[in-house]
Structure 1
């Protein structure tokens, strides 16, 4: 703030008063005194006009407090229909309208806050004038630095947005210090914007501000549009000040908190005795490692139940009055309820999400001995809808090729790179969206390596990355480092990180990175159903990577490591789709008329295995393989202690193992001959017994017992 603006500034007064004439005129002379004077005038034109406007305003409103409390239209020199006063030249005029410079002086120099109604109702064009700004105490260098930082973040034409937001905040606060603007100022002014746009005069005022081409539009939409524009400008300022470090609170569009739902875990009007245990249980889950999304889903499940209770059983004011009969009626209600979005009954998975949290709540609360809930659980596992177990839907090779051709032709580098990453890494959309600027390095041989951030498995992982995706990602990383967007707190990683997929200082949405470009690519590739909807989702790329790994013979542990699965059963799903052993044995044993041999072959072919053994073998068949065949012994039966190649009832083999059997037969014959030469009769007996058993197996398989060139163990 300059010495000029600090001179003779009184302390803020409870009653607002005009600035003395001599003080204001002296300020005008200091600011505009070196302006050229027109012929025949002692004063420069800016001084003459501002003196005149001051005198007229003070004469019209001698008591400044009355001006502040007057109706808004009168303060704007508008009639009841919103029509302005016009001069003979057709230019808008009026005591208040023309006194804008004087009122700005009062706000900045006398620290007199202007009300939001007036600030939002008119334009201001001189606050950041290089001649005027320093005299008002505005740091123009700081403002220009903010403009440059905004451009660095990607706002090429953002100065107008910055000017609008900062000017009105300074006037509303009555403080010329830009660095004192904080998060509370932004949120409070955002509420003022919403309140102003709800005023009945708003449509009249906005009609005088819009371009003449829009004045024929419905006046009712003008305040709505203005509210959206104003909140966007405030949001952009919030993004900017967050990236400069002035505001630590991460920006959310609309200046609304993303955790509002946490502040209202039960519906308003819920009886206190019912609300207490529900609120206590949900808050407890928020304090644990449960994901916020999971807790929010549980909260929504309770809202459905509590609203149903309020409508159907208003007499129930405590959960202890709830019975199994009530729960059964609620389950019937869910089963019969029609989804208003599609006119169909609720899907089984939807009902599952509504019931599962309730089941957990009643079980845990009763176990903990809470006295404000039923003593026994009112729900059991049998109440949960049975969900179909579906195999992953991978993208067929021909469709994948067409789709990736269309992806490579996408113009937006962020969208193109995001789809390349999901195609070559199989990572989840949220994981790719949260990649950090240090996520890419290389193995010792130079092959790219990608670090996937902490996600739903609460662990980072390192995976190989196809060079095509790595090259595209490397360009975005370089740009992100140049833009220098501020680090954001990652709730998964529980620390501030710098993300790659940022635009104008804000993280990009999943819809922007995946859904929008994939829709374009599917249309270009012709991957549409009969109704013209795309047939490929981003998650199908993940299924495709898992399927291709299984088809390539990758071990379960490899699939787990790349896809970030928590247990082998999730990864084994892909082996069910295209298990090469399953396919090969089907072709050899069934399609090609192959045969089985060994003690377990009869039980297998006669379908005499019990259901538990069959279910275990379906997902763990890869674990049964031995050197010369398979053992059907389950973990519950304990380890096998007998010679699997002799008489074990769990052993069987197929023609696939014939080369190994013949090679082993040759080895046993050699060992038997060596035992003869050494005089070891018991060893001769043992090796001959194994050789006889192998001959019997080969005979059962219909295979030759004579060695062949390709035989190996």
Structure 2
């Protein structure tokens, strides 16, 4: 201390020294000699001055001077900075004690020495913002590489580490009630973008601001990305274009061609149809809105219409086959993370969308009068809440998470869709867990264990296929259309009607069961199928429309030109055929016909009795033809 005071009796002269001298690192001592050594050995004295409130330090020195033993020095001085209380709050939010200890030492020590605020409970959002700005400035300076040589080869890791620490401090202060504004993004990117024409960027920013008043934040982000990509293409392919007013329809159409051919920087593959539709839709809305609002520096007319959107292929729901589903759910049940396990179980048993499950609140679960678990799904794509039954397997896991959340009691987060304060179920470390973690990452692990991967090791099951599976199972088991709409949250009947059709694999399986050589068949059309006498035109129609042929007890191979079907009425129609897959239904139908025959006899209706007995005898013959005795099967 004495050497330091003799060398710099006025502390302002020390602040005027080069940063290397003030830090006093080993290379600086070799270059600057005694001054750097005195500065380095005088650091405890400087910390004492800072903790007594006599001096405040600049962030470059604080970042370059590592480590700083501020908590230990404060403890020796009898000062309580509030770091221990903040550490306990962090553990209550689920942070590990070692990781959060390093975060608090790094962030709080520097904020205290920079601001002179010696009580953590007095820190505010302004302090965090100043710390974040200081980190960004230091990361962009030459000083980073001088004092952290490893950053030259691994800058991104250094950036993420420091940024994460600042964001974690912000999150902790928010949940303590010291910050009013909810943290929006937990890993802000400082990645440099390709420059675009400022005049055009200004119009885009103005439009995005207008759309943010009515659109969800995620939609606005997608709009911004689509327009940015278009402006980059204009820079490269149309350098003379300096305003949107100069853009023509031909320019946009040429860009759409490039969009379908150029590989994506992230995947190396051209964008898929859905992604391209999103880009085209964003451009279309931009030109249409700016024309309607009569903005300057724009074409003044819509340059794209609905006909320019890439055409979507007609798809039937891709449900998960029963054998694959069974293996997959065993793997899901063995996932270590309770959040991932619960999210996938809810998806399996409700068919809810990813975002709906992610945004479940802690009061989402109760029960029906009969004790069946009842789940309240938040407003999502359709902007409407709905209530659905929940299988007990998923309900048990969900109750555990809700109990855990109620113990931690984090501060409620503002829901981005409804704007209401919400205490979410799927939270950890004080933040809402991402859909990528809850669904994509977990399903990748489960698919690898279950063996549902392709030759390249990629999972063959997406989270949305759980939704298709629930819809298909409801339809196949006779659920009413309104029930399917209520469970899946569809706004129109046409959306639910697609589940009345079955998936490509199921169509192929049933098609082979009836039309493939060697199939076990019964019914009037069986001989025609075994003999291969069906005309080629009939076979072609059946291949394309096979799902339309299914009846309660089999299939009707009648073509549209042959008139209405009578198979279900008499089971003797020449076009009727059935397979062993329908044996359980045939047996149940025979029981029903025998019961109705007894009832008709009791009522004195002999002709009605004979009609039911005739149908029962016909079913018995179908069962015999399929290899099982109709009478003995009861």
Deviation at 1:83, TM superposition (A): 5.9
Partner of 1:101: 44
Residues 227 and 362 of structure 1: CA distance in aligned 2, closer, same or farther (over 3 Å)? closer
> CA offsets per residue over residues 150-204 of structure 1, 9 Å max, x none?
2212224133432332121100112213223122222321232233345445455
* Whole-Å separation in 1 of the counterparts to 2:146 and 2:70: 25
Equivalent in the alignment of 1:390: 315
Superposed, 1:124-273 pairs within 5 Å as: 124-127=68-71, 131-134=75-78, 138-140=79-81, 142-157=82-97, 158-203=100-145, 205-206=147-148, 220-221=152-153, 225-251=157-183, 256=188, 269-270=196-197, 272=199
| Partner of residue 485, structure 2 | 560
Does 2:433 align with 1:433?
no
Shift of 1:588: 11
Partners of 2:272 and 2:511 lie apart in 1 by 38
Is structure 2 residue 77 aligned with structure 1 residue 77?
A: no
Is residue 2:239 matched to residue 1:297?
no
Q: State the partner residue of 2:401.
A: 476
Whether contact under 8 Å (1:485, 1:498) holds in the other structure is yes
What's the RMSD between the two structures over aligned residues? 4.6
Q: In 2, distance between residues paired with 1:360 and 1:620? A: 39
TM-score by length of 1: 0.68
2:9: which partner in 1?
A: 62
SS at match of 1:707: helix
Q: Secondary structure, in 3 states, of the residue corresponding to 2:388?
A: strand
SS across alignment from 1:161: helix
- Assess, with a 3 A threshold, how the Cα gap between structure 1 residues 436 and 124 changes in structure 2: closer, same or farther: same
The answer on whether the counterparts of 1:436 and 1:497 sit within 8 Å (CA) in structure 2 is yes
1:297: how far off? 2.3
Question: Is 1:539 the counterpart of 2:464 in the alignment?
Answer: yes
CA distance in 1, matches of 2:336, 2:322: 24
Deviation at 1:310, TM superposition (A): 3.2
1:520 CA drift (Å): 1.9
Q: How far did residue 328 of structure 1 move?
A: 3.6
- Kindly indicate whether the alpha-carbon contact (under 8 Å) linking 1:203 and 1:223 is maintained by their aligned counterparts in 2: no
C-alpha distance after superposition, 1:320-360 (max 9, x if no partner): 44433333433443344344555554444333222223233
Question: Do 1:78 and 1:84's aligned partners in 2 also have CA atoms closer than 8 Å?
Answer: no
Q: Is the 8 A contact 1:463 1:562 kept in 2?
A: yes
In 2, Cα distance between equivalents of 1:513 and 1:294: 21
Residue 253 of structure 1, CA deviation: 5.9
Give 3-state SS (helix, strand or coil) of 2:376's partner.
strand
Cross-structure match for 2:566 = 654
Residue aligning to 1:455: 380
Between 1:364-373 and 1:539-548, the stretch displaced more is: 364-373
Q: Which residue of 1 aligns with 2:500?
A: 575
- Distance across 2 between alignment mates of 1:278 and 1:232: 30
Distance 1:618 1:306, change over 3 A: farther
CA distance in 2 between counterparts of 1:276 and 1:383 reads: 26
Q: How does 1:652-691 map to 2 (within 5 A)?
A: 652=564, 654-658=566-570
Alignment partners' CA distance in 2, 1:59 and 1:224 = 42
Using the size of structure 2 for normalisation, the TM-score is 0.76
* Counterparts of residues 317-466 of structure 1 (less than 5 Å): 317-341=242-266, 344-367=269-292, 373-374=298-299, 376-466=301-391
Conserved? CA contact 1:448–1:464, under 8 Å: yes
In the alignment, structure 2 segments of 5+ residues that lack a partner are: 516-520, 526-536, 538-544, 553-562, 572-592, 601-606, 617-634
Query: Which is higher, the Rg of structure 1 or of structure 2?
Result: 1
Shift of 1:130: 6.9
Contact persistence 2:362–2:425 (CA under 8 A): yes
How many angstroms does 1:129 deviate by?
Answer: 5.4
Match of 2:57 among 89, 104, 114: 114
* Cα displacement string for residues 447-472 of structure 1 (whole angstroms, at most 9, x for unaligned residues): 10111111111111110000011001
Residue number in structure 2 paired with 1:707: 611
Does the 8 Å CA contact 1:206/1:223 hold for their aligned counterparts? no
C-alpha distance in structure 2 between counterparts of 1:268 and 1:175, whole Å: 40
- Distance, in Å, in 1 between the alignment partners of 2:159 and 2:202 is 38
Conserved? CA contact 1:186–1:255, under 8 Å: no
Superposition deviation, residue 68 in structure 1: 0.7
